[in-house]
A and B are shown apart, each in its own frame.
Chain A
Amino acid sequence: MQMLNELLLPPTDQQFGMLAYLILFMLLFALPYLGLVLVSTLASTGLRMIKSPLDRYFLEPWTGGGPMITFGVIPFFCLMFLFQLYFYGSSLPVFEYFLRIMFPLFGGFLLVYLYGKSRAMILVGLGFVLLLAAAFFTISTIDLMLFPEIWAFVETPLPAVFSIQVIIHFLIFLALSILFTGAWLYFLYFRWPEHRRPTQTFDYDQMRKITGGMMLGGVLFLPVLMLWDFYTLPVYTLTSPAFALGAVTIVLLGVLALAIVGILRATVARFAVTVMVLATIVFGLVLVNHQLLYARANQEHLTLLADQVKKEKENWTAEREAKRDANVVADEKLGEKIYNERCTACHLFEQRVVGPPYNEVLPKYVDNVAALEAFIRNPVKVNPDYPAMPNQGLNVREVKAVSAYLLSTYAAKE
């Protein structure tokens, strides 16, 4: 995919901010949907009791061609291009990582879709396995954003798979998916006006208990997983907002847990809207939290990249300027500006600061502008009483301008 890399321009830091938002946006679509399909295919094979409502409420309406393409296929293509930009300049084979995701993903979706038509159990079981693999590859690819320090060294096809973070994040994803699916199933089953209760005999009580159990399992595991995550994350990924958001998520999970206990104890269905809304918010919050970690982890990388882009641009303009060098006119206005911004920290005319007072050093340059320009362009050690002057990194035009300004100001003072 060298070609793709060459087509892309290096992004600027504002564009990187944008990229992070777009990636988050796509993940907010893709991951809950993937989780939903994953858990309902599993439950559809494993939990015979709720098979018919599951098929009816989830697998049938949500695994049609339309939703699959909208939530399952398009976001992954977008993510592929976003990541290609995000990992600009690294040697990561992003395209290949996404191929590795997309084969099992689309295969899994296809099988689940066919199951909707034919009802053969083998299809949905196999679909589950493929989707699980796709989810794992997805998490491990996204988590590469946590480890900019290893991008330069990644050669193996499954990068960072053995990192503890990927495993924790995968478990978090599974727990979230179970919670999310349970909450939506409960909500759709008992509240959604269009789906009135199915006519075939089915024990409502059992439905309530099973979905309640799913939710409670997810809710109880999540805080432990989150703590484990915070405990093992590399220091350079953490920020105060990440911790704060983590704490808020745990509080929400606590509220959710109490509502679920309420659900399990009641004889009638209640709190359906509450748990659905809370479970959805929690899913979103966790994804946002991970995005905060990624942003912090890459802050340094992005600064360096922005620097590099700036340098390339400067070289390019310097080259162009060098061509016009001969007929550069000294612009004293610019000189004054540079003087005030860059030189006054260390120099004054009358008085020693870090460097010598100009009144002492300029006399020898009065008839020799070229020497002054040469010194400013590339300072050398002159006077042992002073430290060396650091190179100010000015270009030819700026050096000419500031030299002219210094000499004319000096002449005016005389």
Chain B
Amino acid sequence: MKRYLPLILVAYFIGCLLLILVLARQWQDTGQAPEQPIAFSHPIHAGNLGLECTYCHQTVARSPQATVPPVSLCMECHKNAAIDRPEVQKLRGFWERQEPIHWQRVYQLPWHAVFNHKRHIKAGVDCSFCHGELKAQARVRQVRSLMMGWCVSCHRSRNAPTDCWTCHK
């Protein structure tokens, strides 16, 4: 046993190293800002061009889901605007093939929790409170943990309902 101690130690540390690489890999696949099929930029559209969030996320103030806009909305402008950019040409490819774009979800609650945008917008909670400043995120990334403790502590401080049925249906 004593003779093999260095070997055991080396195996232990290599094991830990591998585990940390696995964690890093897993984080890159799921946790980090995911790669999108088209490099859509909030800084350009919501920042430079000054579009309102609701211009694209049209149902955010009206329904539980915010929804990501369909290609047709992009094409209102991109029939003409910036058509020389490779990413916009990709967009036009989707349009011509009549194919929906499968955007990667960034904010996603587990199946057992429900969320409702409309109620929060009505209550005057700003998008940036939960999603950060999109105008500075070249690629959308998750800036809140979306853990239950976070939801509940805000609900408590704002006198919003906190019984289990509110969020677990």
Contacts and interface: CB of A to CB of B under 8 A. Distances in A.
Interface of A: 149-150, 152-153, 220, 223-224, 226-227, 230-231, 234-236, 238, 240, 243, 246-247, 250-251, 253-254, 257-258, 261, 299-300, 303-304, 307, 342, 345-346, 352-354, 387, 390-393
A247 B77 contact: no
Interface of B is mostly: helix
B150 A300 contact: no
27 contacts: A149-B144, A149-B145, A150-B150, A150-B153, A152-B154, A152-B157, A153-B157, A227-B20, A234-B145, A234-B147, A236-B144, A240-B24, A240-B28, A246-B20, A250-B13, A250-B20, A251-B13, A251-B17, A254-B17, A300-B132, A303-B133, A346-B81, A387-B76, A390-B49, A390-B50, A390-B51, A393-B50
A71 B164 CA distance: 49
Contacts of A393: 50
A391 B77 CA distance: 16
B142 interface: yes
Interface residues of B, number: 45
Interface stretch (B2-10, B58-66, B93-101, B112-120): B2-10
B52 interface: yes
Contacts of A352: 80
User: Which of A150, A236, A238, A299 has the largest number of chain B CB atoms within 10 A?
Assistant: A236
B39 interface: no
Contact of B49 (A236, A307, A346): A346
Contacts of A246: 20
A306 to B, nearest CB: 9
B103 interface: no
B141 interface: yes
Nearest to B46: A390
Interface in B44-85: 48-52, 55, 76-77, 80-82
B132 to A, nearest CB: 4
Secondary structure type dominating chain A contacts: helix
B80 A227 contact: no
Given A231-B23, A243-B24, A258 B10 contact: yes
B64 to A, nearest CB: 22
Nearest to A230: B23
Contacts of B121: none
A352 B16 CA distance: 60
B154 A153 contact: yes
Given A235-B32, A243-B23, A261-B6, 19 more contacts: A149-B150, A227-B16, A230-B23, A236-B141, A238-B31, A243-B21, A246-B20, A250-B13, A257-B9, A258-B9, A261-B5, A300-B143, A303-B132, A307-B133, A346-B81, A353-B80, A387-B77, A390-B51, A390-B55
